[in-house]
Structure 1
Amino acid sequence: MITEKEITKAPDRPGKSALREWVDSVLFAVIAATLIRWLFFSAFVIPTPSMENTLLVGDYLFVSKLHYGATTPITPLQLPLTHQTIWGTSIPSYLDWIQLPQLRLPGFSEVKRGDVIVFNLPVEHPNSINKYSTVLPDLHPHPTDLRSNYIKRCVAIAGDRLEVRSGQVYVNGKAEPNPPRMQNEYVISANTAINEENVFHKNGITDYASIQPDPADQGNRFAYLVKTTPALAAQLKSLDFIAAIEPVFSGKRLKEPYLFPENESLSWNKDQYGPILVPKKGMTVQLNAANAALYGDVIRNYEGNEDVTLADGQVLQHGKVLQTYTFRQDYFFMMGDNRHNSADSRYWGFVPMDHIVGKAVFVWMSIDPDPVSAFRKIRWDRVFRIIE
């Protein structure tokens, strides 16, 4: 039996100091934010006009990791909540001393045609930096999971045969539905100077330029090159001072430099492109000269192969010429909705599945980087807009 005298009072534990409370709160917030960012969704901002008019420069997005499944980090030695560099500096935020195999957690959706997707830019692979520096001059080598985040629309999935004819995307021989806010290039002929504020800015046209009118357009003394949607082009055409508005597409057999793949026998351009077969996991291809140009970088850089080299239109492994190859993962073909102002798969090739980050879901904030007035700094009509 325990007597009252034998009961001793436990010593009081000293309370946490204000500094300790603050440190614990910050640590908890960082851990929670890191887990949410890894498993559920991340926030991104649009820096370039390649997805206009679907997404505008200054749009802030939520990107879902749940759709396709979150991936485990390849580069674990990294400061939390950073990507490539420490905030506000050019100091790397990671060490690549350790590289782990990547695993993808289950998602509730496969990548589908028409999805707007954030991915790591494949051509920041060390083997590709010099090859694509003309198209993308600010390339720097990074590990797979820390390559620059790009956002484009998936227009073809693994196993699809893609072709672009006069700006229209065809997949497996059928015309794909165009994004509702897709932009193309148009020439506007007018019989008077256009008030840029009232006509262009008011209608959300930010990419335009005055050009020399076609001498064949009698009486039309003014001409403009604009990038806009088909619907807005039709609306502008109804204005009484607009004489004509015509889409601009590159003609067949007009060869455009720097397109993918690098092959002198191809006379392709951004509006007349393909056909091209997108690699699919388990698909086997014959490696002739044309396929070596098309799939050589994929085999060397993204399939986990060792000692692969490309030379004289051939793919070699350990010095032996490969006659066939079977792909180990799925690939995708991405294009920007601003079809005449987008450095996309037409210029640098396929996106591997292990580079897919997530699906862009909605715009939660939109800030105009060049507003007409301070009152128009926030684009209220775009806040909480679902991405189509």
Structure 2
Amino acid sequence: MFIDLAKAFGRFKIWEVVCAAVVPFIFFPIVSIQGSKYSDPRVTEYPKKGPVREWLDAIVWAVVAALIIRTFMFEMYTIPSSSMEKSLLVGDYLVVSKLGYGPRVPNTPLSFPFVHHTLPWSKTAKSYIEKPQLPYKRLPGTTEIKRNDPIVFNFPAGDTVSEVYQSNVTYYQLCRYFGKDKVMSDKKQFGNIITRPVDKRENYVKRLIAMPGDTLQIIDGIVYINGEIGEQPAEMQHNYIVKITGNGINPSILQKYNITEGYRTAHADELIFNMTADIAEEFRKLPFVTSVTRRIAAPGTEVSEDIFPNDTAHFKWNADNFGPIVIPQEGVTVMINPENIALYDRVIRAYEHNEMEIKDDKIFINGKETDEYTFKMDYYWMMGDNRHNSQDSRFWGYVPVDHIVGKPIFVWLSIDKNTGKIRFNKTFRTVK
């Protein structure tokens, strides 16, 4: 349609056709300013195209069609980490639907096609031009976002990254470890510090655990939603302490039970493995195993600045004993003070773009003193099914609704990272 419209304005050059198809909201206003005259395509005879131009037009059409499908309908993703095992495996290739929750209009319309945030021949060169930036807009979808859905989203803490560490270690972690001044000044160790728009932040896949307005608490590794035990994914994993009679376990046994993560403790007869509850029960039956106990960080132990809200002075939480915490909901007003502001700092500053500062134990938002804040967006709580090997909301907090990309619906290919072979029993399966 846009290509035909461009031709009606006498724009036949290949670059004009490409611009009309890819960035029509920029191209046609320029055409209008230049005073190009419209001619009715039903009565206008266009110049004949040679074979080269025919091929170029066909390629343009194919690229445009693929871009439309990728942007608004479906996109392919690969599982790079084990945070969702055993529900999703490293080496799974996913089809992610954007139609269900509604496709987003791209925030960053000017970008290199078919790549995410970095050009394929470079480790650091941006694949996009930051301006113009379009406001968040989501087209109507076919279903609502639901609790316990697996979801692909843009990594919220990936708004600022080190070119060296990318999102593997967040900028905010680096600042906690080394200090902001060193991170910003030491180009040799950290490279340039860059910012990314929402749609160019790293793609993550986790399970939606809590909805806007839900009260979430984790007690001894068990998630409670609004005071009741939340739904447990069938393939959820935890750390288990395995005590044995010998000094090790035959690798063939680990392979039999599909155990891919584990390590030895300081005790020769003690190992820690990531396992599902069913596999842990099978391990208890092995003749050389004396005990299998789920590893749980007791309340008040293993407290770390890496645990959200990254404020150990006021929140003594860990990954197994966390909260309670209320997930922010659009239109809801909360009371804020210096003791709880860490829970909402990122929401107020980074996601909802306000200026905030604390002076003399008083909070100022956009220059005005206040003790309350009303949320402008809905937020969600995401966790990996591999509970003791997942960087998720327990570490970096809420996921804003404008970061939601889509829902993985289908695994079309699964390749074992160790052997390089196709896992036929895991290929062509739906995602639950």
TM-score normalised to structure 2 length: 0.79
The residue that corresponds to 1:252 in the other structure is 299
SS class of match (1:251) = coil
Equivalent residue pairs, number: 364
Matches of 1:135 and 1:365 in 2, distance apart?
A: 39
- The answer to whether the 8 Å contact 1:296/1:310 transfers is no
The residue that corresponds to 1:131 in the other structure is 172
The residue that corresponds to 2:318 in the other structure is 269
Matches within 5 A, 1:90-109: 90=123, 91-109=125-143
The answer as to 2:230 corresponding to 1:176 is yes
- Map Cα deviations across residues 132-173 of structure 1 (whole Å, 9 max, x no partner): 337999985201111111111111010000000000000000
The residue that corresponds to 2:265 in the other structure is 211
Matches of 1:228 and 1:312 in 2, distance apart?
A: 49
The answer as to 2:352 corresponding to 1:328 is no
Structure 1: 5+ residue stretches without partners: 1-10, 214-220
Matches within 5 A, 1:138-217: 140-213=194-267
Aligned pair partner of 1:112 in 124, 142, 146:
146
The residue that corresponds to 1:6 in the other structure is none
Change (3 A) 1:209 1:25: same
The answer as to 2:268 corresponding to 1:238 is no
- Map Cα deviations across residues 179-226 of structure 1 (whole Å, 9 max, x no partner): 11011001111113444322112221110123333xxxxxxx622110
Matches of 1:245 and 1:190 in 2, distance apart?
A: 9
- Map Cα deviations across residues 312-350 of structure 1 (whole Å, 9 max, x no partner): 665422332221111111000111111111111111110
Matches of 2:84 and 2:253 in 1, distance apart?
A: 22
Matches of 2:48 and 2:368 in 1, distance apart?
A: 71
The residue that corresponds to 1:73 in the other structure is 106
Matches of 2:400 and 2:431 in 1, distance apart?
A: 23
Question: Following TM superposition, by how much is the alpha carbon of 1:309 offset from its aligned partner in structure 2, in angstroms?
Answer: 3.4
- Deviates most, 289-298 or 278-287: 289-298
Matches of 2:388 and 2:87 in 1, distance apart?
A: 14
Amino acid at match of 2:150: V
The answer as to 2:333 corresponding to 1:299 is no
Change (3 A) 1:337 1:313: farther
Question: Following TM superposition, by how much is the alpha carbon of 1:304 offset from its aligned partner in structure 2, in angstroms?
Answer: 3.8
Matches of 1:62 and 1:109 in 2, distance apart?
A: 17
The residue that corresponds to 2:14 in the other structure is none
Q: Alpha carbon RMSD of aligned pairs, Å?
A: 2.4
Change (3 A) 1:127 1:53: closer
Matches within 5 A, 1:24-39: 24-39=57-72
Matches of 1:127 and 1:311 in 2, distance apart?
A: 28
Q: Which has the higher helix share?
A: 2
The answer as to 2:50 corresponding to 1:50 is no
Greater relative contact order (Cα 8 A, min sep 6): structure 1 or 2? 1
Question: Following TM superposition, by how much is the alpha carbon of 1:297 offset from its aligned partner in structure 2, in angstroms?
Answer: 1.4
The residue that corresponds to 2:408 in the other structure is 360
SS class of match (2:131) = coil
SS class of match (2:195) = coil
Matches of 1:340 and 1:169 in 2, distance apart?
A: 13
- Deviates most, 141-150 or 155-164: 141-150
Matches of 1:314 and 1:335 in 2, distance apart?
A: 33
- Deviates most, 317-326 or 266-275: 317-326
The answer as to 2:130 corresponding to 1:82 is no
- The answer to whether the 8 Å contact 1:211/1:225 transfers is yes
Question: Following TM superposition, by how much is the alpha carbon of 1:255 offset from its aligned partner in structure 2, in angstroms?
Answer: 4.4
- Map Cα deviations across residues 241-288 of structure 1 (whole Å, 9 max, x no partner): 211111100011214211111221221100000000000011000112
Matches of 2:153 and 2:108 in 1, distance apart?
A: 16
SS class of match (2:174) = coil
Matches of 1:140 and 1:227 in 2, distance apart?
A: 35
Change (3 A) 1:153 1:134: farther
Question: Following TM superposition, by how much is the alpha carbon of 1:14 offset from its aligned partner in structure 2, in angstroms?
Answer: 6.2
Matches of 2:358 and 2:103 in 1, distance apart?
A: 33
The residue that corresponds to 2:430 in the other structure is 386
Question: Following TM superposition, by how much is the alpha carbon of 1:131 offset from its aligned partner in structure 2, in angstroms?
Answer: 2.5
